[in-house]
Amino acid sequence: MKVWIEPSQIKGTVKIPASKSMVHRAIICASLAQGTSIVSNVTYSKDIDATITCMEALGACIEKKEDRCIIQGCDVTQRNSNICCDCQESGSTMRFLIPLAALSPFKAVLQGHGRLLSRPMDVYQTIFAHQGLSFKQKETIELQGPLQPGHFLIPGDISSQFITGLLLALPLLKKESTLEITEPYQSRSYVELTLQMLQTFGIHIDQTSPTSYVIPGNQTYHATNVNVEGDYSQMAFFGVLGAIQNRIMCKNMDPASRQGDKVILDFLKQGGATVTMGSEICIESGLLNGQTIDLADCPDLGPILCVLAAYSTGTTKLIHARRLRMKESDRIEAMEKELKKWKVDITSTEDTITIHGKPSYRCESPVQIEGHNDHRIVMAMTVFGLCADSPSQITGAHAITKSYPHFFEDIISIQGKVEIV
């Protein structure tokens, strides 16, 4: 799919979709609970659909309604047959699912597409090898449990998804386990979301230090109803639009959210935008200036923060950005390549991005942008194009279906000139 982007004056109110991170966790916890749970305010996407089909493969019964799921949970420890799960391109789905699939002694095969199976899985490979369990990664991941309780030492600078996967599974083992995270402990906020959802479903985890957890065994997930809050990582695209251009109102957001990507509000304010918190979040444009931004706990914000930096006068430096290279695309390389087509002054190292920004951009002919099969690249470059002074076209724009299928509709609703070609 291609989209044609015209310079636009954006204004209005947009309802931000549900937090994808929280929907993943809510559906998994509900699927592990004994009884029926309802997960409300669900925004469906390819990633969420992948989690649903995988939890169904593990034994849950999930009924999809327009904006909610009705879920009858199952006991994954009693799975008595081999399974095959298609995780699509969802890193969260695959990394959350692996320990759960290993709770049974029966084989599990996990499929993935795009760059998913090239993303690091060494953490699990090491754990399985230490316990004498089978874990083979080639065109698929083939594994066989049962996972045993014990002490787990996990690097904190690769992905918090490994930590979440273990926190979801270890309470279902018969005995206590301990989990220790080595420094630097990055994306800690995502683990906080996991602990919050586990508590909602009746699971108790003791955090004995900033990097240590004790997980009592023989626990039971309890069915409950959950209403999922809006997604700050998706709100960021509209927040940056408002900061560069006009006043934008974002609804369906929780001002007290524990999402790590809520830090986007701080970055917008530090850059010169006005942010007002109330029943809705209002972002108004200002004179934007460069700043230093630490991505250690919010890597998903990387692409759209590159856009904010490009339109901010002076120098912006994004640090601790290395994990952007291990996403659906190498997001540092992708953003550098596409922004340079607009003559943005951008350079990078393995772990940093430096941008010398300015208020406006114009090219003599329409700029041809590649989507890199990455939803966040497509959305970020859409925002850039809307704020520019000349048109652009994005190829591979269908990548948005991974997380935000209605993104272009929402852009059009606030007077964005986007045409699907």
Can you read off the two tokens belonging to residue 385? 């194009």
How far, in Å, CA of 331 to CA of 323, rounded? 9
Among 86, 261, 297, 300, which one carries the catalytic annotation?
A: 300
Sequence-distant (≥ 6) Cβ neighbours of residue 369 within 8 angstroms: 338, 341, 381, 385, 392, 393, 394, 395
Residue 369 vs residues 244, 372, 391, 413: alpha-carbon distances, Å: 20, 9, 11, 23
Element (H or E) spanning 126, and its range? helix 122-130
How far, in Å, CA of 235 to CA of 64, rounded? Answer: 24
Tokens of 223: 């069915």
Paired tokens of 20: 């994808």
Distance CA 99, CA 86 (A): 16
Rounded Cα–Cα distance for residues 414 and 249 (Å): 10
300 among known catalytic residues: yes
- With contact defined as beta carbons under 8 Å apart, do 338 and 370 qualify? yes
Amino acid symbol at 296 = A
Structure tokens at 420: 């699907």
DSSP H or E stretch at residue 58: none
Which residues have a catalytic role annotated?
Answer: 300
